[in-house]
Amino acid sequence: MKNKHLMITAIILSVVSLFIGAKNLSFEQLIQGGEMEMLVLLLSRVPRLISILVTGMALSVSGLIMQQITRNKFVSPSTAATMDSARFGIMFSMILLPGLHVMGKMAIAFTFALLGTFLFMYILRKIKVKNVVIIPLVGIMLGNLIDSITTFVAYRFDLIQNINSWLQGSFSMVTKGRYEIIYITIPLGLLAYFFANKFTIAGMGEDFSKNLGLNYNLVVNIGLTIVSLISSAVLVTIGSIPFIGLIVPNIVSMIRGDNLKNSLGTTALLGAVFLLFSDILGRIIIYPYEISISLTVGVLGSIIFIYLIFKGVRK
């Protein structure tokens, strides 16, 4: 898998994405300078494309970091209670601080996401049988428990519809002025690249890392902070998108190995391509309407996830 091929695929899909939607666009209309067409392109299609690419890269990188730190290929923000905890934080802000700005909601979502991830890591240390399948199942069960509490509290405060809107990730509402917070994930991705070698060493185990002079706890905490920030930024901007951080790093590691610094760029590119393809698919299946990105990614991702599960079990 070469980055050059992924770049070409990303460019082709990006061009296709710009011209697919309820409002038909064409090169001829844009060249002629149609006012309505240019507004649709600049205010809707371009912001949507940018948000898809950045989200796909960010979620894939966060999944890669989680898998490296936990030393388990089936762990990601969606299977380690990170996303579920962030949704609980959103619900918390709706009840106590209903008029809070989106940055404030993201800060609260980040706090809860970090706490939920730390709780998962604490449970992970207490598990004696660290089976490749049991660990993500524990994370999924913890996430479902947190999600159930969120649903119960939301029901008591009549916020079910508001909370459900955060469960369905969608790019349909992305327009200029409503997606820029996603840019926060770009410096986080660069920070992940800076710490890539340290994350790789941390993935070899606590004792081994300390023997090499690495501050294991600090590196792990930095990694979990990056993952929680990315998850909360994506949640408040797009919503919940499953499986990206789970399947993309696994596919790349099969080809490029487990050195995080060597595979980080490929993981980011493949994540962007996969999410872009899923979004285009969701827009053309029932054209001119569209299916939410969480549904299309969920269907495609679950098929790949089941394949990875069976492959891991056979090993």
261 pLDDT above the threshold of 60:
yes
What are 95's two structure tokens? 């009840």
- Average pLDDT over every residue of 10-34: 78
What digits encode the pLDDT tens for the residues 186-233?
Answer: 999 899 988 888 888 888 888 888 888 888 888 889 999 999 999 888
> Which of the four pLDDT bands, split at 50, 70 and 90, describes residue 33?
low
CA 272/CA 276 separation, integer angstroms? 6
C-beta pairs of 48-52 under 8 Å, 24+ apart in sequence: 48/17, 48/171, 48/174, 48/175, 48/179, 49/14, 49/17, 49/18, 49/276, 50/179, 50/182, 51/171, 51/174, 51/179, 51/182, 51/237, 51/238, 52/17, 52/171, 52/272, 52/275, 52/276, 52/279
* Res 315: pLDDT: 47
What digits encode the pLDDT tens for the residues 91-123?
Answer: 888 888 877 888 888 889 899 999 999 998 888
> Which of the four pLDDT bands, split at 50, 70 and 90, describes residue 53?
very high
* Res 167: pLDDT: 66
Say if CB 215 and CB 58 are below 8 A apart: no
What digits encode the pLDDT tens for the residues 61-75?
Answer: 999 998 888 888 888
What are 109's two structure tokens? 């979502």
CA 233/CA 59 separation, integer angstroms? 10
Q: To 5 degrees, how large is the angle CA 233–CA 125–CA 262?
A: 55
User: What kind and span of H or E run contains 72?
Assistant: none
What are 251's two structure tokens? 């596919």
CA 57/CA 188 separation, integer angstroms? 11
168 pLDDT above the threshold of 80:
no
CATH code, residues 3-314? 1.10.3470.10
pTM here is 0.88
DSSP helix/strand/coil, 251: helix
Domain ranges of the chain: 3-314
Instruction: Name the phi and psi angles at 141, rounded to 5.
Output: -65, -40
* Res 314: pLDDT: 47
* Res 29: pLDDT: 65
139 pLDDT above the threshold of 90:
no
> Which of the four pLDDT bands, split at 50, 70 and 90, describes residue 176?
confident
CA 132/CA 309 separation, integer angstroms? 9
Q: Which residue has the higher pLDDT, 70 or 28?
A: 70
Go through the chain and tell me how many residues it has: 315
